[in-house]
Amino acid sequence: MANFENFLWWIFVIFTLICGVFCIEAHYRYKNKNGIDNAYKFSNKYKYFGQPIYDKQNKIRGYELLLREYNQYTNKWQLPRNVVDFPLSKIVSTIQEINPQLEEIANVSLNMTVNQITDFRVEYFFNWVLGTTNIKQLVIELDTNDIRRANIFKRKEILHMFKKLQHTQIKITIENVDSSKKTYNLLQQYLPYITYLKFNVHSFNKSANHWIDITLAQWQRRSAIFNIEMIVDKIDNDSYIALVNQLNVPFHQGYAYGRPENL
C-alpha cells in the first residue's frame, strides 16, 4: 500500500512540474511575442494607401488597403520592414487615422500575415474593427506565398481561424494565386471558407521558361464549386484587360485601372 501511495505522490510531483514548465514557457512566449500589444519595435510613421478594385461594369467595388512606412531618407512611402511581425496595435492606430474616409467605401480589404491571423489576440482585433470603425464590409487578405512558407502547424491554425470567423461580417481573400500545381494543392483545404481568390495575372503568361500547370479557366471551374469569386490582379496593359474580359472574371485590379492613392 505504501508503495502505491509513493507512486501516486511522484505522479503528482511530476505532473505539477510539467504544468509549471508549460506555464513559464507560455508566459515567456506571451511577453516576447510581437502582437496586438507589442509595438515598441515599430515606432515610425505608417499610412494606408487604397488601391481600387473594379467590377465588370468598371465601377469601383472596394479598396485594398496597402500599408506603407515613410522613409525619411528617401522621402518616400515603402513596404514596412519586418511586415511579417507588424503588430496589430499599429494596424489599429493606422486605421483610426483614415476612419472618417472609410465611411464612403463599401468594401475594404485588409492585408494580414500568417503571424497576424494566427495571433491569439486577433479575435479582439476583429471585434474592434467591426465595432468601432466605419468599415461596412471587411475582407481579410492572406498571401499565398506566406501560407506556403508556414509550417504544417501554422497552416492548421489558419484553417481553424477560418472556420471560427463570422463569414457574414468578415470575408477571406487568398491573394497572389499562381498557375502552379503546388499552389493548387496547397489551397484546396481553405476553399470552403473563402470568398475571393486573387490571381496574379503575370503568373499565367506561358513562355519557354514558364509552364502553366493550372490555367485561369481551370481555376475558374474549381472556384465555381465553392461559389468563390475571382479577382485578377497586376493588370497593367490592354492585353490583360482583354484576357479577363474574355474569361468574364468579375473583379479586376492593377495599374491599368488605378494606382494606390492616399485615402
**Predicted pLDDT at 207:** 67
**Predicted pLDDT at 184:** 95
Handedness of CA 230, 128, 43, 35 (dihedral sign): negative
Residue % of the chain over a pLDDT of 90: 39
- Residue extents of the structural domains in the chain: 1-32, 44-262
Cβ neighbours, 10 Å, residue 84: 13
Q: What is the Cβ-side half-sphere exposure of residue 146, based on CA atoms within 13 angstroms?
A: 18
Max Cα-Cα span within the chain: 86
What is the Cα–Cα distance from 172 to 165, expressed in whole angstroms?
9
C-alpha cell at 213: 500547370
**Predicted pLDDT at 166:** 78
Directed axis angle between helix 122-132 and helix 88-102, to 10°?
20
β-pairing verdict for 261-262 and 46-55: antiparallel
Q: What pLDDT, in 10s, does the model give residues 180-231?
A: 999 999 999 999 999 999 999 888 877 666 678 898 889 999 999 999 999 9
Q: What pLDDT, in 10s, does the model give residues 96-153?
A: 888 888 888 888 999 999 999 998 888 889 988 888 888 888 999 999 999 999 999 9
pLDDT band, residue 37 (cuts 50/70/90): very low
CATH topology of domain 44-262: TIM Barrel (3.20.20)
**Predicted pLDDT at 41:** 57
User: Beta strands of 118-220 (E only): which ranges?
Assistant: 138-143, 170-177, 196-200
C-alpha cell at 62: 472596394
Cβ neighbours, 10 Å, residue 104: 10
